[in-house]
Every structure is written in structure tokens, then in C-alpha cells.
Amino acid sequence: MSLESTLRLARAGDLYPACILHGSDDTGRTEAALELARTLLCDRPVAERPCGECKHCRRIVWPQAGGGLFHPDFQVLERDLRTSTSVDATRTFLRGAQVTPFEARGQVFVVAAAESLTPEAANAFLKTLEEPHTSSPRNFFLLAPSQFDLLPTLRSRSLAIYLGGGEGVDEDEVGALARALAAALESYARSGNRMHLFAVAGTLQKAGGWQDPRARRPWEAAAAAVVRAGREADLESDLRRRVLSLAEDLLAGPDLRVRGIQPQRILEGLVHARLEA
């Protein structure tokens, strides 16, 4: 799922209650959470959300960054301990989700470093998701470098939205891969010849660093290149959607890899499963 389609769902009020925003860097994840929160709480007509000017949009700012601006229906939970987000801080934060909104038509809750939630904190969070709540919409965003940093129970209850890039991913390398991928994808779109899909998989393998079965970096670099190629290549919308879904599939690569499957076979399998018409 891409940020653009997520914003569309948020505008229409159809967004899944819990979403993981992963990939990119701290700033990218923060900006995406703020844009989604403004879209959900903005009081302008649907097509204009987020307007950036209304009394809601203007006050949805990151804590401490807003020069005293504050919105009572937008809450952020930040890591309170050196390496973790405690269950006490999480419970206090979640109490805000037991009340009706103060000013906006809904509420937005952001966990800034969801990878640092302790197992007890994650369970408190899951319990809140399962509880019945007031009739106003309530949206939770879990921010993390990778969705695979979160407990499987949290992942299974949330929609993962990949923002591209990732920690330790080199931008020049991604750019070069994306250009080669875009060319192979355009050739495939024109001819329908499966040979071009092998070229796509072969290009992904050039992300390098596949020797370590547990390494995430090559998968993140491959996924980031696919997202960029999907945006930049000249493709019809159905193929573009499938290309963006391929990026999500690639991020699950390390799970397949630890089962002993060779990277080349995983890459070819995922590319053909997702892109072959």
C-alpha cells in the first residue's frame, strides 16, 4: 500500500483503524503521519483535505516542534525510556482513546517508535484496538523503520504502508537500480514478453549484499528501487499498482530467505507472481 492510496482512503474516511508507516527515515515517517492526521481531521470538503490552513490542520504539529501549537485530538507517544517505550507511558497515552473527540470529527494517535514498544506495551495497544469505542473515528499510526521490527500480533492487526527507502539504503544505488528497472518494466509493458521479467529480477539482484541470510538492507534497497521505478516508468495504472505491491512483497524477503531459499529464486518468484499478466 502506498502513501498516495492511503491519503485517498483517509480523505474518504475509509482508512483502516491501525496503520504501520514504515521505510523512509524518521523525518519521512513523521511527515507522513502529520499529513495523514491533517487529512483525517481537516474540516474542509473531501477533495481539499488536507487544506493546511483550517483550525485543525494548523495545530496538528509534532510535539515540541509547534511553538506551543497543540490539537487535543492528535496525540503522539514518544519513547520514554532509553531503548523502549514503556507499558506505563503506553497506558497513559491510550487513555486518551477512551473519550470522545474534543473538537475534530475523530482522533489520531501516533506511536513514534513502535519498534521500541515492550511486549506488555504492545499488548495494551492490541487490547485497545479490540475494545469497542465511541462512534467517532479513531486512527492509530505505528511508525517504525521496518514493519518486521514489530511483533507479528501487531502486524496482523494493522495495514502496512511502505514509504520507500530504508535505513542504510544508498540513494545513488537506488536511483541507478530504479532506472534499469523502469526500462525493463516499460519493455515488458510494451511487448508482454516474460523475458523482461527475468531482467527485472536480475536487476533487483544487483542490490547486492545477499550473502547474509538475515540482512534486510538488500531487500530494502530492492523495494525502494521498485517504488521509484513504479512511480517514474511509463506504465498503465494496473501494472503500476502491481509494481508497488511488489515492493511490499520484497520487504518480506528475509522471512523466505531464512527458510533456505536462494535470493535469485525468491526474486524471480515474487516478480513473476506479482507482475505476470
Beta bridge partners of 155: none
Smallest separation, CB 41 to Zn ion (Å): 8
Smallest separation, CB 95 to Zn ion (Å): 27
Closer to Zn ion at the Cβ: 103 or 255? 103
b/e map 164-200, b = 16+ CB within 10 Å: bbbeebeeeebeebbbbbbbbbbbbbeeeeeebbbbb
Q: In sequence order, which ranges of the chain are alpha helices (DSSP H)?
A: 3-12, 26-41, 87-95, 119-130, 152-156, 171-191, 195-205, 217-232, 237-251, 253-257, 263-275
Q: How far is Cα 71 from Cα 27, in angstroms, rounded to an integer?
A: 20
Closer to Zn ion at the Cβ: 22 or 71? 71
Smallest separation, CB 104 to Zn ion (Å): 10
Radius of gyration of the chain (CA): 20
Smallest separation, CB 175 to Zn ion (Å): 34
**Residues 22, 161 contacting (CB under 8 angstroms):** yes
Smallest separation, CB 147 to Zn ion (Å): 29
Closer to Zn ion at the Cβ: 32 or 42? 42
Closer to Zn ion at the Cβ: 42 or 110? 42
Contacting residues toward Zn ion, per CB under 5 A: 42, 51, 54, 57
Closer to Zn ion at the Cβ: 42 or 221? 42
